Every structure is written in structure tokens, then in C-alpha cells.
Chain A
């Protein structure tokens, strides 16, 4: 009775298919999460066996934390991908004998979620941005810094002596600052861009050839600045006006991307991209025909800081790290290598003249005066931002 057997077989094939499916779903899930969601764990230092600091061999007496985390010979750092390099880590280990181990995150919110969920107990140093410092202080997640153990705080430029996000730097030490602006090829665009207004003026011509940051606060902030309001506006009318302005601009927007615009801009498929200065400047290093500009109406100035979380296992090493980073020689070298702006006066003075004069790295004061830091805003305003954002990107 062939038909019957055919049917039986059909059922079997369903089960076989589903077992294949499960295997592949697992595979794809891990691939996805390792690339995107998780914070790519990366030991930048590599595994050369030079890490024989005496402490590393002693059994640890810490309870609760894992052996690696409690080990006084190692320092776990949780930071942005562009803020450390092998040279820096090797120099730190050579000087202190402490082996730094680095994990990477790509947004403040990812870092916060991990710390809140208890997944970040191993870290002694984190690098939250300005507004996130305020939030973490409010949630009592940060250690109050013992300033007698820090050298070189007085070297901070005046703007960072008592920043709004953490008055008197009680819980955080500013490490890097930068701006948000536009990057473009003047030859391709045919003129100089100096204002946000340019995008709206030329929106017909720019048809699907600009990208804006995939970040509510930044992109919304740019529209608010274009309209003459604060980057951190909480006024519902102003927020709605900014949303309408962005809807007007949308036909010109190819995509909302924080990363991924680089190749398209370099190849001329995009005319203008909105970008963080660090990303823009490292691309300009490769393609000198590109230009970065902080729009005249003002933009955001962000500061990334170093903090010690409450749960930090190895506080002594954390202080050593902060002191190492506050050293003007170390800091100046990093600015040269990684292209970001330092808040340290003496590190700035040690820079070669061409970097000192680089207005992309260190914009002139008349532009900085119009810029603002992204500040925490109340929840209801945030929700309004998010609802408009969903509409804008739908």
C-alpha cells in the first residue's frame, strides 16, 4: 500500500527538518548575538606569557567574584572600542605589573543594562559618557573618588574642573571629549558646509544622499539646534517642531546609521554624513579629501569619563589606571594615535603643533560656545522622543 508509506515518510521528513532547523537557529542566534548584542569580549593584549606578576600566581582569597576578577594582578576594563590600543595596555603593564583585560561596548545603554543585570561585577574601570555618569550617580552605582589618591586632576582644563554632569568630578574623571558634526567631500558637494541649515536648504538636491546618526538624542538634538532650541529641550512643542523638521528632511535621508556610512561616503554614494568626531577624524585619516565640520548653530560636545563602579573588585589597580591615564605623556600619545581630544592642559601642550591647531580635534571657542552636552532628561520627555523617533524611522 504505497500511499500509506508515502504519508509516513512525509511525517518523518518534518521531524528531520525540524531538528536541522533547531540546530541552525541556535547557530544563527549565537552568531547574531556575538556580533551585535553582546559586548564583544576582546582581550586586546593577546596571550603572550609575560604576565607573571607575582600576584598572578597566588591563589586569590576573594569570595563571590571569580578568581580572575578578584586577582590583584589583573584589572578588568569595560570601554569603547576606540579608546584603548595594545601599545597603551603594554605600557601600563610594564609600568605597574598589573595586567589589563579589556571588554568592549558600543552604547552607554548596553553597558548600563549589563551592569544593572549584575553581569559587570568583574570590572574595576568603566567609561560612561557624561549624561550616563549622572544617571549612574543617581542610581548609586559609582564609587566616590578619593582625590588624595589621584594625581593630575588640577591639570584638567577649566571646562572640566566642575562639569554639569558631575559637579567637582566627585565620581568621574574626564578622559576624552569630542563633538558631533557633519563629514563630507567638498569637491563632491561643490561648496563648504558650515550649518545644519545647509541640509534643509538643499534637501531636494540631496535626495537620499545623507545619513544621520541612529541615535534619538543626537539626531533630534541636531534638528532642535537647527530650529534654534536647546539640544536637551523637554518642551513638547519644540520636540514636535523638531520632529516635523526631520520629517521634512527625511526624503534626503538615505539611512539612520551610527556606523556603516563610511564606505558609502568615501565612494561618493553619500554626500554628507552626520558623525561623531572620533569616527569622522579616523576616516579623514584615510581619505584626506573629506572634511569634518561642527555646524555653526551648535551641536553636542560629549565627554567620556573613567569611573569606578561600586562593585569593583580591584580598586587599587583602578586608581593606578586612572593615574596612568592622567599622565600627560600617556594622554598626548593616545591623542596622536587614536585621534580624540584630551581635556588635559599639559597633554594638549605636549601635542605637535599641527594637532594643536587642528580645529576638528579642538574646535574654536566661538563654535564650542553654541554646543551643549547631552543631559539626562525626564522620562516623559524621553518617551515623547522615542515615539517620534519610531514614527520618523517607520
Chain B
């Protein structure tokens, strides 16, 4: 990670190149093309092509593998509009939004502490320590939470030992938030760390000099500087958690069907309705794309203003 301070070098904007001969133009065109080729092929084969395949399947109502396909139509998409499925989509978004907010609230202080306050020689170690849980499988982590959250589990044992009544945590919405926040917090911390590390502390000093209280300088200096990090971290957590179904299913109880589980059921459940499953997948891809578009646009505007 680069450690250059923001204003160590004056802005080096290249002067526009004079229009050279056509050969230079051509090589200027080919060079980036060659450089982009590997990732381009990768994207084409593993992203664009499969997505188009899903798009095609989603347009065949009731498509099932191994059966004669019917005509194209929008039936699968119309099916999604039933209240049962809308409720499932709503729940997925609710879980993901809640997780994002919790990750931000918990992740910001941690990232701030590691990036700004912790001794420099400890930073990398602290960061690795924080990311370490990611090395275990998410399924294992969900099972670990079952042991902690169940009625006779560790959490209630702890609560009772200090005289508080135990709660029924497991198989309910709070358990989903606990499990998902735990799972996705490292992503948030990593990204916030990357943007807090480059925080220009002189601006904070200047703010203090000019009479801002700590809250004001946090809100008016620190937060605006890390806004792109907050947006990127929030988006990453949102996207990954909207697609999670391990945690909701294992910790969330009887009423925790999420969109990913619904899609899974369409592909690998009893109905094997690949058409409907593909339509659901397309809706999810679209929703995530829109979220990313918002981020890009927001970032762009931010840099063009003034």
C-alpha cells in the first residue's frame, strides 16, 4: 500500500500530446489493447458469457435441464412479482442493509484505531489478526455461532454468571445480524483502513487550530476524506451479504428464506425450475449493478465538482 502523503508532490498533469503521425496513434491504440487482452478474455469467458446464458435461460418460462424448452417469454419475471417472492427479496435487502450499517458502526472505530492511533510497527500485525477469521470457512463460523448463541450456549452462560437473564438469541433475526456482521466486518475494516491510512492529519490539526471541537473535525474533516472508503466498504459488504445464505439459514430460524436460498432451491431443490431461478439471478445481478453504478457516479461527481 502506498504511503505517499497527499501533497508531497504537486499535481503532475501531462500536457496534451500533439497529434502525431498515424503510426503513433495506432500503437497507442494497440498497446492498451494487448495489455487488456488477458483480463478481457477472462471477463468475457467467466462473466459476460455466463451472464448472457443466465439471461437466456431466464427468458424461457419453466425451463428445466433435460427437458424440451418452451418459447421465450417474460413469465419468469412476472412470477417474481408475487408477494411471497417480493417478501423474500425484501428480507434479503433488510439483512444486507442492517449488516452494512452494523459493519460500518463497528468497523470505523477499529480501522481508525489501527490506522491512526496504533503504534506503526503493530499495524500490519493487527490487520492480519483482524483478517485471520476469514481464513476459516463461513460454514464453520456459522456453526461456531450456533454454539455461542443457543440457549445453553456460551453467551447465555456468560450473562447468567453475571446475574442477567439469558435470552433466546438463536433462530431469530438478531442472530443473523450477529453472524453476518462478524463475517463481513474484516472487509469493511480493510477498506476503511486503506482510506484512513492516508488521512491528512495536518488538516485535523488545522481544524483544531481554527477552533473545531473533536466532533466537528471528525464530521467535517475525517469523514469527507474517507467517504470513498466508506462507500466502497459499504457497497462490498452490502453486495456480499445480500448474496449470503449460509448464515441466515443456519442462524435465522424458520422464517429466514433469502433470495440466494430461493435461487438455490430453484436450481437444486425439488422443482428444478432453472428458468425461474435464472430470472431471480438476473434481478439480483441487476440490483447489484445498479448499486455499483451509483457508487461510480457518486465518485465521479465528487471529483468533478469545484
Contact = CB atoms under 8 A, between A and B. Distances in A.
B34 to A, nearest CB: 21
B296 to A, nearest CB: 9
Contacts of B306: 3, 7
Interface stretch (B70-78, B93-101, B246-254): B246-254
Contacts of A215: 270
A386 B257 CA distance: 12
Interface string A245-283: 000001001111100100110011100000000000000
B271 A17 contact: no
B123 to A, nearest CB: 16
B270 A386 contact: yes
A393 B254 contact: yes
A54 B252 CA distance: 54
A212 B302 CA distance: 52
Q: Which of B2, B150, B187, B254 has the most CB of A within 10 A?
A: B254
Contacts, number: 176
A107 B88 CA distance: 24
Interface in B182-231: 187, 190-191, 194-195, 198, 200, 203, 225, 227-229, 231
A28 B171 contact: no
Contacts of B171: 208, 254-255
Interface residues of A, number: 64
A7 B225 CA distance: 8
Contacts of A158: none
Contacts of A394: 84, 87-88, 91, 255, 257
A10 B272 contact: no
A263 B269 contact: no
B256 A393 contact: yes
A25 B187 CA distance: 9
A32 interface: yes
Nearest to A260: B250
A32 B257 contact: no
B55 interface: no
Nearest to A264: B150
B261 to A, nearest CB: 8
A42 to B, nearest CB: 15
A109 to B, nearest CB: 5
Contacts of B268: 107, 109-110, 113
B191 A21 contact: yes
A230 B295 CA distance: 54
B240 interface: yes
B246 A117 contact: no
A383 B195 contact: no
Sorting the interface of chain B by its residue count into under 10, 10 to 19, 20 to 34 or 35 or more gives 35 or more
A117 B232 contact: no
B265 interface: yes
B168 A208 contact: yes
B88 to A, nearest CB: 6
B248 to A, nearest CB: 10
B291 interface: no
B143 interface: yes
B65 A116 contact: yes
Contacts of B163: none
A347 B253 CA distance: 42
A27 interface: yes
A24 B2 CA distance: 19
Contacts of A267: 150, 152
Contacts of A268: 152
B299 to A, nearest CB: 6
Contacts of A338: none
B48 interface: no
3 pairs of A and B residues whose beta carbons are closest in the complex: A17-B232, A393-B257, A253-B254
9 contacts: A2-B200, A21-B191, A25-B240, A113-B65, A214-B249, A269-B150, A379-B64, A383-B271, A386-B273
Interface of B: 1-2, 6-7, 11, 62, 64-66, 84-85, 87-88, 91, 134, 137-139, 143, 146-147, 150-153, 168, 170-171, 187, 190-191, 194-195, 198, 200, 203, 225, 227-229, 231-233, 236, 240, 246, 249-250, 252-257, 262, 265, 267-273, 299, 302-303, 306
Given A17-B232, A379-B64, A390-B262, 10 more contacts: A10-B227, A11-B303, A20-B191, A217-B270, A263-B147, A379-B62, A385-B270, A387-B84, A389-B265, A393-B255
